[in-house]
Chains A and B, each alone.
Chain A
């Protein structure tokens, strides 16, 4: 029961202030619910009998956690994440922080629970700050592997859903998120798509299906020729309109 929620904040860049603060308000209700399930899984962890070495490692991971965690909520909250980022010498809007959250399977934007922290750092074999810092380039390589990237890409979207039952994300956030997640690999596509999203009036939000559609678009369609693009197929409509817009622009 002690586990409760450790978390930390970050990614303000992806999230407008309003969303962030409202997610903080909700945290108490949500955390109560979650603590039960997390307790049981923690007990299981101990029942399996960790070896001395791993338990030592775990101690160090917990120690590191406590350095950043908010003592009253037992979560690394946005402030803690910012501190962590500056210690890692990484801007808190850096894609690597999002990758770290992915590794931890962090559920709530801006917060790391102790369980998430343990999951992530254990997998990265990092129990000190310097090890964590060194692990980041490796982590980036791992995420950029084709087999992981789609999952990471989908995770990035889910991570930005801060409200209960929220299923879509506003255009502005989407544009920033696209820039961070896909900017380095599909620069041209992202630039055009962001430009399109900003001038169009049909969509105020983007949902998961459309988000994944753009990923498919980047990977399957040569750009800017787009000869393979067939609007008869089940592309989300927003991409049909996007392609139409580009074609008009090119013509």
Chain B
């Protein structure tokens, strides 16, 4: 049976009734929605109208009608409600969201009725699907006219939240708004990126640009950084509500740019001036420290302790409050170096004075007023490493001091020294402490050797030294070099030396013994008129004094011929015995200086409250020697480093070579550019390097 043909007007009347019902229902107005029976009727009507033979095929007309209906619907419902002005941003967004969801619902329902169009007509004619028509309708009529207001509203809400005003913040709303952009883009992010993200980024940038320009003037450097870091953190959290995660890197970049990059120079200036203020704040302590160091009564240990305490305080500040950033650590270090160097009467807190401070602490076994603990030692060592650039120089001075402690301070404990050396090793590495360890080991071995020597003497009647004789054996390569000045030893000592030589050479055939009399200590029993006094003297002093065992009076020349000492050395020794604090010898004439025509005799009236007196020999200035020695070492180190670098690179520019060299050596010392230049020139002269023929700032390695 042939179906009855439906003409368009007739068909559309049926449709119109259904559509009106649908509209009312979607808008939430009273009245029933279409039930499934009606739905089938509508669908069938569309189907029939589309499948009738021409000229009764109304497919195209229906498609156009569908579009018309949606346009009309949007124009009469969504648009008016959104065109209204709202008091606050939320209202607008809420209405938008509501309209959007109603619109979606409407399109869904309506397109189901017209579904048959989608199946063939749309497909064959490459038209927009029914749903796409619905979307386009909304985009064209609502979205395009409203989107500026929408994003302004979003930005305003976010800005409000940034200001800390979170009353009535509707995060879910914002999250839904951002979804609209993707839905309208049919899952494509382009609309989101162009219409929301880009404006949000801009808005964020301008917000922080405004903030930064104020903060940079109002806040201190620390506060600014703290505030800014906090902002970045909060911004990351906040953005997850109104933007997708894909926008985060770009957003963070924008915020950081406005807060940090734009003001980088200003911040640096601020930082410097403020750190100078910190250093300035340390002024009272600086002065105290200065006084302590200048005061050579050994109180400087207390001063350095104070400095370290201050340092600890600021370190906490840096780690806790400034997020442990290297840049602040560096500044703190600079500040401390600056004020440590200012502390010591204009001259810097040099490697030498640092070694001296260590020496004091160790000898006194005291850390200010407290007992010296391992922890305290560690602190000192760390601090020294921290403020000293010339580690090699420090090592050399430390070795000198260590030698004195080991040889002259009998009560110094090896364990103690070892403990400190271990700390130094942790701080500076094994190369640095290798010789120091050797020195301490020598002392231990010497004690063992002394025991077997004592046994040897006891069991060997032929070997009678006649006096107590202790020998300390030092390995030449690990100890600082000492001047050996020959002196004709008193016969008693010669005998001791001979016996020991026989003993030692029997044990170690190939070793050569050199006697360092300048490091000796002798105990001499002086029989003075009032009471006998033990004199603790050096070998040279002893040699002089023992001459008076056989003669009451000796003139300078006699002494010199018998001892065979140089004039300079002899004057030095005689001065200590006749012109210094303890006048063991009486000099004729009794002047303050020793001359070649002087005559000496024992001061038998000499006496002291003590039964034992140490007669010091003033020290020769070793400083120059040490510095020279270290400079020499540095020359080799620089050359070795240059050759190493050039061997690897073959061709290298001057600047890179210098900076690479500084880098390589920075563990031990800070080589000065001039010194490196000199070494480069030296290596050119010795044909290790050559200047590039075309570029004189380039060096080539000659294998």
Contacts and interface: CB of A to CB of B under 8 A. Distances in A.
Chains A and B are bound partners: yes
Interface of A: 167-168, 207-210, 212-213, 216, 232-234, 236-237, 240
Given A167-B685, A232-B655, A237 B691 contact: no
10 residue pairs, one from A and one from B, having the closest CB atoms:
A234-B654, A234-B697, A237-B677, A209-B684, A207-B685, A233-B697, A237-B678, A236-B681, A167-B685, A209-B681
A168 B677 CA distance: 18
Nearest to B680: A234
Contacts of B192: none
A216 to B, nearest CB: 6
Nearest to A168: B685
A236 B680 CA distance: 9
Contacts of A232: 655
Contacts of B680: 234
26 contacts: A168-B685, A207-B681, A207-B684, A209-B681, A209-B684, A209-B691, A210-B681, A212-B691, A213-B696, A216-B696, A232-B655, A233-B654, A233-B655, A233-B697, A234-B654, A234-B680, A234-B691, A234-B696, A234-B698, A234-B699, A236-B681, A237-B674, A237-B677, A237-B678, A240-B674, A240-B677
Interface string B627-662: 000000000000000000000000000110000000
A216 B695 CA distance: 11
A124 B392 CA distance: 62
B692 to A, nearest CB: 10
A80 to B, nearest CB: 34
Interface of B: 654-655, 674, 677-678, 680-681, 684-685, 691, 696-699
A184 B698 CA distance: 30
Contacts of B678: 237
B671 to A, nearest CB: 14
Contacts of B697: 233-234
Contacts of A168: 685
B698 to A, nearest CB: 8
Contacts of B684: 207, 209
Given A209-B691, A234-B697, 15 more contacts: A168-B685, A207-B681, A207-B684, A208-B685, A209-B684, A209-B685, A210-B681, A216-B696, A234-B680, A234-B696, A234-B699, A236-B677, A237-B674, A237-B677, A237-B681
Nearest to A238: B681
Nearest to A220: B696
Contacts of B698: 234
Contacts of A208: 685
A31 B543 CA distance: 64
| Interface of chain B: mostly helix, strand, loop or mixed | helix
Contacts of A210: 681
A212 B684 CA distance: 13
Contacts of A216: 696
Contacts of B677: 234, 236-237, 240
A212 B692 CA distance: 12
B662 to A, nearest CB: 13
A233 B680 CA distance: 13
Contacts, number: 34
Contacts of B674: 237, 240
A232 B678 CA distance: 13
Contacts of B681: 207, 209-210, 236-237
Nearest to A167: B685
Contacts of B685: 167-168, 207-209
**Chain B CB within 10 A, most for which of A209, A216, A232, A234:** A234
Nearest to B678: A237
Nearest to B692: A234
A3 B61 CA distance: 118
A216 B696 CA distance: 9
A236 B679 CA distance: 11
Contacts of A209: 681, 684-685, 691
Contacts of B691: 209, 212, 234
Contacts of A240: 674, 677
B112 to A, nearest CB: 80
Nearest to A205: B685
Contacts of A233: 654-655, 697
A146 to B, nearest CB: 15
Nearest to B687: A167
Contacts of B696: 213, 216, 234
Nearest to B654: A234
**Chain B CB within 10 A, most for which of A207, A208, A209, A216:** A209
A68 B121 CA distance: 117
Nearest to A237: B677
B645 to A, nearest CB: 14
A232 B659 CA distance: 11
B676 to A, nearest CB: 10
**Chain A CB within 10 A, most for which of B654, B674, B681:** B681
Contacts of A213: 696
A237 B696 CA distance: 14
A120 B421 CA distance: 71
A237 B654 CA distance: 13
**Chain B CB within 10 A, most for which of A207, A208, A237:** A237
A170 to B, nearest CB: 15
**Chain A CB within 10 A, most for which of B674, B678, B696, B698:** B696
A69 B680 CA distance: 44
A54 to B, nearest CB: 35
A12 to B, nearest CB: 27
A116 B678 CA distance: 38
A209 B685 CA distance: 8
A204 B654 CA distance: 25
A236 B38 CA distance: 102
A240 B654 CA distance: 15
Contacts of B654: 233-234
Nearest to A241: B674
A209 B655 CA distance: 18
Contacts of A237: 674, 677-678, 681
B675 to A, nearest CB: 9
A207 B678 CA distance: 12
Nearest to B686: A167
A207 to B, nearest CB: 5
A197 to B, nearest CB: 16
Contacts of B655: 232-233
A209 B678 CA distance: 12
Nearest to B695: A234
A207 B697 CA distance: 17
A167 B655 CA distance: 26
A236 B699 CA distance: 13
A205 to B, nearest CB: 10
Contacts of A207: 681, 684-685
B653 to A, nearest CB: 8
A92 to B, nearest CB: 31
A168 B684 CA distance: 12
A212 B680 CA distance: 15
B683 to A, nearest CB: 10
B649 to A, nearest CB: 15
A207 B681 CA distance: 9
A1 B684 CA distance: 38
A213 B654 CA distance: 14
A210 B681 CA distance: 8
A201 to B, nearest CB: 15
A234 B699 CA distance: 9
A137 to B, nearest CB: 31
A210 B677 CA distance: 12
Contacts of A212: 691
Contacts of B699: 234
B376 to A, nearest CB: 44
B657 to A, nearest CB: 8
A207 B689 CA distance: 14
A234 B678 CA distance: 11
A147 B434 CA distance: 57
A216 B697 CA distance: 12
Contacts of A167: 685
B694 to A, nearest CB: 12
